[in-house]
Amino acid sequence: MKLIRFGPPDQEKPGVLLDGNRYDVSAHVRDYDERFFVQGGLDQLAELLRTQAGHLPQVADDVRLGSPVARPSKIVCVGLNYADHARETGATPPAEPVLFFKSTTAMVGPHDDIVIPRGSVKTDWEVELAVVIGKRASYVEEADAARYIAGYVLHNDVSEREFQLERSGTWDKGKGCDTFAPLGPFLATADEVPDVNNLRLWLTLNGRPMQDGNTRDFIFRIPYLVSYISQFMTLLPGDVISTGTPAGVGLGLNPPVYLKPGDVVELGIDGLGTSRQVLKAYGAH
């Protein structure tokens, strides 16, 4: 299944994508949130589509898409999870996963504007595969990790490099700015992605190719990440794990290139669709 949320910001309704068309399931589903996953919502939705698909109201293609999951308890990110990206940033590939958080208030829809923060001069892009957790996960064994995954989603892990790397402290301050987590266009359930370790992911800036990688180059694969993270915190249904970015970010170029107002970023992952964001200056309308 491919799950979408549509409508104005903070008023999104749940829907599905079927054969390229959007359908409204809000008469049957409250939202794609923690309660939905806890209460077996994916199985119930599958049964609804099996029996009622022909009777669901259609949603127009011009209706805004929001993040395909409602605001979760947390967005956990993995840094330096592709060896080529570690090299381009001058970092040593890590012996254990590097973890940081993005604020959940950074979440926006796949085609919403990215707002360059006030005072920013080093806003950067990062195409990433994100994992959505489907059931409460604590001290999960790696061999069992797949049972805790609801699905996968495209994510642009937008980053402000000065805030992240030059302002001391943790990376989080350069990762959680408003609009810095465009998610979507849809959540693909795990059965829709036959080989998550062989997905091409790419990003362009103003039409120029910048990133072109493949998840087969993960340093730490997804089952290990789910298990590893669950040793340090309980993952709740609907939580998002973003699994890192391949080479080609602005920070890694010589000289570095950073985003400016009017820039257009487009990105995609095999089987997970594409997204497009326009950069806006803080305070611009």
Q: Per residue in 239-260, pLDDT tens? A: 999 999 999 999 999 999 999 9
Mean pLDDT calculated for residue range 112-141: 98
Per-residue model confidence (pLDDT) at position 5: 98
Q: What is the mean pLDDT of residues 85-91?
A: 81
The CA distance from 82 to 155, in Å, is: 16
R_g (Cα) of the chain, nearest Å: 18
Of all residues in the chain, the percent with pLDDT exceeding 90 is 91
Query: What average pLDDT does the segment 11-18 reach?
Result: 98
CA dist 99 and 143 (Å) reads 21
pLDDT band at 285 (very low <50, low <70, confident <90, very high): low
- pLDDT category at 85 given cuts 50, 70, 90 is confident
> β-pairing, 114-116 with 273-281?
parallel
Residue 52, both tokens: 């009622």
Q: CA of 166: how far to CAs of 68, 101, 170, 198, 257, in Å?
A: 33, 18, 10, 34, 17
Residue 50's DSSP bridge partners are: none
**Torsion region of 168: left, alpha or beta (phi above 0 gives left; psi -120 to 50 gives alpha):** left
Lowest-confidence region among 77-91, 109-123, 140-154, 155-169: 77-91
Please check whether residue 273 is in contact with residue 156, taking contact to mean a CB–CB distance below 8 angstroms: no
Beta-carbon contacts of 27 under 8 Å, excluding residues fewer than 6 positions away, are none
Distances (CA, A) of 188 to 95, 183, 249, 255, 272: 30, 12, 25, 37, 7
pLDDT greater at residue 171 or residue 250: 250
Distance separating the N- and C-terminal Cα atoms of the chain: 36
**The pLDDT of residue 275 is above 90:** yes
Percent of the chain past pLDDT 70, that is, above it, reads: 100
- How far is CA 119 from its chain centroid? 25
| DSSP code, position 207 | T
Closest CA to 189 of 222, 227, 146: 146
Please say if the pLDDT value at position 237 is more than 80: yes
Q: ω before 255 within 30° of 0 (cis)?
A: yes
243 φ/ψ sector (left φ>0, alpha ψ -120 to 50, else beta): alpha
What pLDDT, on a 0 to 100 scale, did the predictor assign at position 283?
A: 87
Domains annotated on the chain, with CATH: 2-59 (no CATH), 75-281 (3.90.850.10)
Q: pLDDT tens, 178-228?
A: 999 999 999 999 999 999 999 999 999 999 999 999 999 999 999 999 999
Give 37-80 pLDDT, tens digit per residue.
999 999 999 999 999 988 999 999 999 999 999 999 999 999 99
Indicate the SS3 state at residue 47.
Answer: helix
pLDDT band at 12 (very low <50, low <70, confident <90, very high): very high
Q: Supply the mean pLDDT for the chain.
A: 96
Structure confidence at residue 264 as a pLDDT band (50, 70, 90): very high
Q: Confirm whether pTM is higher than 0.75.
A: yes
